[in-house]
Structure 1
Amino acid sequence: MSGYHVRQRVQNALTHTGNSALWRKIKECSRSSRCQSLWCGHCRNSAAKAVEAQIRKRLIDEEAMFDSASLDRSSSEFNDHMNSKHLHASGYVGVFSLDQAAVLAGLEFDRKRWKKLKERKTDRAFWIAGNYEMELVNYRFLVSSHNAESVKKQKQIGQLLSYSHDMGWISQGDNVGVLLHWHAVTNATEDDLVDVLGDAYWINNERLFKTSAPGVYVQNLHQDKLFDVNISKMASYAVKSATRYKHSFIGSDVGNELMLQSELAGLIGLYDQIQKRNWRALMFTHTVGSGQKTVLSNKETHSSN
C-alpha cells in the first residue's frame, strides 16, 4: 500500500461495507498473485508502468530518427525536439453515478466517439495514447471550497453535472459522482486536434470552461524537464489511490474531506469491476489517419448512441 493511513482507510472502508474479500485480495497481494488495485502501492506503480509502456510503443518510430547507437537521451537535441513535438491532452466524458453500469456506459460512449473520429476522412495524421481515470467528486464540498484554484473545477463540474443529468448518467440532485476523464500524450498539434475533434468534446454547445478550442485541455510538456521524465509523469497522472476529495486539478491539492467508507469502498470496487486484467479496459491508443478533412460534430456523436 502507499502508506499506513491509506491502508487503514482502505481496510476500514472495505471490511465495514461487506467487501472483505476485496480487502483480502489487496492485503495478500504477492508476486504470485497480484491484486492489481490502485490502492496497492506495488500494483499502482505497475499500472503506471503499463501506461508508460503503451505510450513508448508509439514513440519508437519517432525516436528512430535519432542514431540509436549514439543517442544521448539527456541531450538538449533529443529533449528539445521530443518535448516540442508532443502534447499532454485531457478530455472529460461526464459525471456518473457510483455504479458499474453507469460508468461502463460512459466508457462505451467515449469509445464510440473516438471510433467515429477515426472513421472520418481527414488530411491530418496523429496518434494519441493514454488512460481513463475515475475520480470521485463531491460537488457540495467543491463549491464550498474558497481556494482560488478551485474556481475552474467548480465551473467545469457544474457544466458536466448539468450535461450528465440530461444524458441520464447521474440523478438530479446527486452531489457525489464519478468524474470520468482521460489523460493522454499525443504527437498532434493543437490545430490537428481542432480540425479532427471539432466540437465533439463540447458540452451543451459550448467548450468546457477553460479548455482549449477543441473542448479538451491541451498543454505543452515541460520544456525544462527531460522528455523521459515528462512521459513517466504523464503515465502516472490518472493512476491514483485517492481517499480524500480534491478541489482543484492540481495534483497535490487534496482537500480535508475524507470520502465516506461507502464512497471509498464503492470507488475501489468500481475499479476492480471495470479495469480488467493489466488495466487494459482503462488504457487506450488511437490513430487518426490521413485523407479528406472532415470534422465530427458533437451532435453526430450523440446521434450514434
Structure 2
Amino acid sequence: EQRLALTRAFAADLANRYGAAVDFAIHRPGGGGDIRNSHAHLMMTTREVTETGLGDKTLLERENRWLLANHLPPSQLQLKDLRQAWEHLANRHLAMAGHDIRIDHRSHLEAGLTIAPTEHVGVHATQINRQGGEVSRIRIDRQSADRNADTIRRRPDEILKLITNEKSVFSRYDIARALHRSINDDPQTFQNAFAAVMASKALVELKPDSSGVRGRDGEARYSTVEMVAIEGEMASSAVAMKTRQNHGVFKRHVDAAIAAQDRSIQAAGASPAQGLSAEQRQAIEHVTGPAQIAVVIGFAGAGKSTMLAAARHAWEAQGYRV
C-alpha cells in the first residue's frame, strides 16, 4: 500500500506537470530475483491530453532548440527536476512510513564526493546470467576500487558523508555495507578501510554497544560531528519556537473552520451526525495555538490531512499565509 501511494503520487506529479496521461505498474521481484528489487515502471504519453483527445507534444518531447527559443528549460534540466521531484516524494513517504533513511538524487560529484560510485548490473546482464552465460558481476572496476580505498584511507570522512546522505544515525553494519559498495572484496583492504573510518575524528558514538546482551538491537549507534551539530541546532530552534507565544488563532476562526470541515465531510456522503473526530478537533486546536511550533503524530489514514485542511482555513482567516 505504501509503494502504491508513493508511485501514484509521482505519476500524478508527472501528469500534472506535463498535462499527459501516465500509466504505471509496480513489479515485485521474481522467484529467482533479489527480494529487495520491488520497482515501478511509468509510461507517459508523448502528447498532452485535452478534452478532444491528444494535443501538442509535451515539453519533455520538444527539441531543445524549440525549448530554448521559448525560454523553457532543455530536456536535461527537466530530467534533473524529475529526479529531484522523486527524491522529495520518496523521502516524504519514507518519513511517513517511519523510516530514518532518505535518498539523494545527486551524483557523487554533485554531492562533493570523490568516491567512485558502483555500477548497476542491469536487467540484460541478469537475464544472461540466469541462462547460464558468463557475466561479470563486479560492482566496481579494480582501478576505481583501489582509488576509493586510497581515498577512504586518507579521508575516511568521505564514507561517513556518503552514509549521512542516506541516514543521520547508523551502525557499524551500515559502515561495512557502504565500504562493501565502494571497494572490492580483499579482506585486508576492507579491514584497513574499516579501521580508518572507525578512527575518524568526524565519527561520534551516540550509544555504546550492548549487543552481547540484547542481540542486534543493542548495537552501537553513530553519527557525525556535522550531523550532531545540525540536529542540535534544530532542537534548539524548536525549543525557542515553543516559547514564542505569538502565532495563535482566534477561537472564533478555529470554531468556524471546524464547523466548515464538518459540513464538507457530511456533504461528501457521511451521515449528518458524522464530522471531525474528538482527536481531530483536539489536534486542530493544538496546531492553531499560540506557539510557533506544534507537533501532531498519527498513523496513515488517521485523518491528518482532513484535520490540516481545517487548520488551513483557521490560519488563513487569521491572516497567515499557509
> Greater share of helix residues, 1 or 2?
2
TM-score by structure 2 length?
A: 0.20
Which structure's relative contact order is higher, taking Cα pairs within 8 Å and 6+ residues apart? 1
Structure with larger Rg: 2
Please report the TM-score for the alignment, with normalisation by the length of structure 1.
Answer: 0.21
Which is richer in strand?
A: 1
